[in-house]
């Protein structure tokens, strides 16, 4: 998820996903639109497919529709007529879902450095503008340079993805102290800094996560904790300013 997705809005990918799209079309054509049979076969592929990180291509969304139409043996007006049939809609929705699953899986291991600036995951859905249903707290709102503050992100519904930065102005500062063998979180290096952002390590649901942040030495000012939290691939809040910490 970031996080739980590459570039939106396109969701067509190459490799196994493209093969699956072709398979969907052929299956429905060769088995006279036998929904149950094709669903079972696609389910088997999904269980075995080695999904990874794919680069989506905006220009290929049209080719995606065309590929399905072609594999249905359709051309011209017959293609436009069949798009209203249940079988075609089912095939199209299933293929889109498969592509989305692949993209989501690609960032289940945490936010990439490409989102350091805007903290925005490349999910197909737009971020939420509502109030974030997560609480961000610290065990101390004052710290000396080199000191450590614990930052906690929690919510009743839990979250699958998270990105945390402590910023002085627009620059991530300080360092997150996370062991390399931690099962749930890891650090990433944003800009010229090191370990100055923290993110999830897997897409398991976590209701509470605590991060240890070490304040930079030589800075005496107020910094602010920013978070991006993803409840899932379609429900997420981006770069939300939260609590402040005074570095003395």
Sign of CA dihedral 172, 177, 182, 184: negative
pLDDT interval class at 109 (50, 70, 90)? confident
48's CB contacts (< 8 A; 6+ apart) are none
Give the mean pLDDT of 78-98.
47
For the segment 32-68, what is each residue's pLDDT rounded down to a tens digit?
445 455 555 555 544 443 333 333 333 344 444 444 4
Q: What are the CA-CA distances from residue 21 to residues 38, 61, 67, 96, 218 (Å)?
A: 12, 12, 8, 9, 56
Q: Strand locations in the chain, DSSP E? A: 135-138, 142-143, 148-159, 161-168, 171-172, 175-176, 185-188, 197-200, 206-214, 222-232, 235-247
* Claim: this prediction has a pTM higher than 0.85: no
Position 27 confidence tier, pLDDT thresholds 50, 70, 90: low
Residue 33 and residue 190 in contact, taking contact as beta carbons nearer than 8 Å: no
Residue 226: what are its φ and ψ, rounded to 5°? -115, 140
Q: Is the CA virtual torsion 179, 1, 207, 245 positive or negative?
A: positive
pLDDT category at 154 given cuts 50, 70, 90 is very high
What local confidence, expressed as pLDDT, does residue 17 receive?
46
């Amino acid at each position: 998820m970031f996080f739980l997705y590459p570039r939106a809005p396109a969701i067509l990918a190459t490799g196994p996903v493209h093969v699956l799209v072709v398979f969907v079309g052929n299956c429905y054509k060769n088995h006279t639109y036998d929904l149950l049979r094709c669903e079972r076969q696609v389910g088997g592929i999904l269980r075995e497919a080695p999904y990874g990180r794919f680069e989506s291509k905006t220009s290929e969304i049209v080719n995606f529709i065309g590929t399905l139409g072609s594999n249905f043996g359709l051309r011209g007006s017959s293609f436009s007529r069949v798009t209203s049939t249940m079988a075609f809609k089912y095939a199209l929705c299933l293929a889109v879902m498969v592509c989305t699953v692949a993209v989501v899986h690609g960032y289940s291991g945490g936010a990439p450095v490409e989102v350091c600036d805007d903290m925005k995951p490349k999910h197909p859905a737009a971020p939420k503008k509502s109030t974030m249903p997560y609480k961000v707290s610290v065990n101390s709102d004052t710290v000396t340079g080199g000191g450590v503050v614990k930052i906690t992100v929690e919510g009743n519904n839990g979250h699958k993805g998270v990105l945390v930065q402590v910023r002085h102005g627009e620059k991530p500062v300080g360092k997150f102290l996370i062991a390399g063998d931690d099962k749930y979180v890891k650090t990433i290096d944003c800009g010229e800094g090191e370990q100055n952002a923290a993110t999830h390590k897997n897409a398991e649901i976590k209701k509470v996560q605590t991060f240890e942040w070490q304040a930079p030495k030589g800075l005496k000012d107020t910094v602010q904790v920013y978070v991006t939290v993803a409840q899932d691939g379609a429900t997420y809040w981006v770069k939300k300013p939260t609590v402040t910490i005074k570095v003395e």
